[in-house]
Amino acid sequence: MSKCFIYNIYIYIYIYVCLFNFVVNEDKYYLRFDGEPKMKWEFKLDLNTEGGLNLSNQLKNQKELENVFSMSFDSIYFIFPLLNEQSSTEAVETKSGYIIACEQYTLNFVFKDDNIPYNGCQKIGHLINKEDFSEEKLNGLPFEYNEENKDMEINLVLAYERTTEEPKIAEINKKIILIIIIGLSLLIILLITKFIVK
């Protein structure tokens, strides 16, 4: 029996680690307006794309990036080089809530569906609650007309924060039960194997 315990020491260590590793770290990204009315939109980045990974790294390094955004008929955008001429790009459909990086060094947050695709771009993420990022809500913000480039502009902040969350009790209980079942199954298999070998 002592040999059996030694054989299963790794199972016990695994169960111990899983049982007490209930803290979940999560990266969160926001687009924020700090004036009145204050507004904040959470978004996800696709870290499998070059543009998404580049933006994530810059936000993790600087925590906040304040930029002057311009408004077009379907998106708000600003000049932000995330891609270069060697980047893998395609024609990306414009759907509300999409975040799109383009070769022309623009980062676009799309607020309205459109049939015209963005050429030479990557879809690098999406807004989590796109309903809160509508043309109506954006028009409620104090955009200012820039005489020089004839654009409606506003200062917005891209922000990053790392949160630590504890899962719900129900999720913890499911995890404990699953670990116990797996541990007992492996123990039974090893005991049966031991008796067969004899």
Q: What is the pLDDT along the chain (198 residues), one digit of tens a residue?
A: 455 555 555 555 555 555 555 556 688 999 999 988 899 999 999 999 999 999 999 999 999 999 999 998 899 999 988 988 888 888 998 899 999 999 888 999 999 988 888 899 999 999 998 888 988 889 889 999 888 878 899 999 999 998 776 556 566 667 777 777 887 777 788 777 777 765
Q: Which residues contact 55 (CB under 8 A, 6 or more apart)?
A: 45, 80, 82, 101, 107, 124, 125, 158
Q: Which residues contact 7 (CB under 8 A, 6 or more apart)?
A: 190
Query: Quick one: pLDDT at residue 17?
Result: 55
Query: Quick one: pLDDT at residue 88?
Result: 87
Predicted structure pTM score = 0.71
Q: Do 161 and 173 have their domain in common?
A: no
Cite the DSSP H helix spans in the chain. 2-7, 9-20, 50-62, 135-139, 169-197
Instruction: Please give the residue range of the domain that contains residue 10.
Output: 2-22+167-197
Q: Do 49 and 114 have their domain in common?
A: yes
Q: Do 86 and 122 have their domain in common?
A: yes
Domain count, the chain: 2
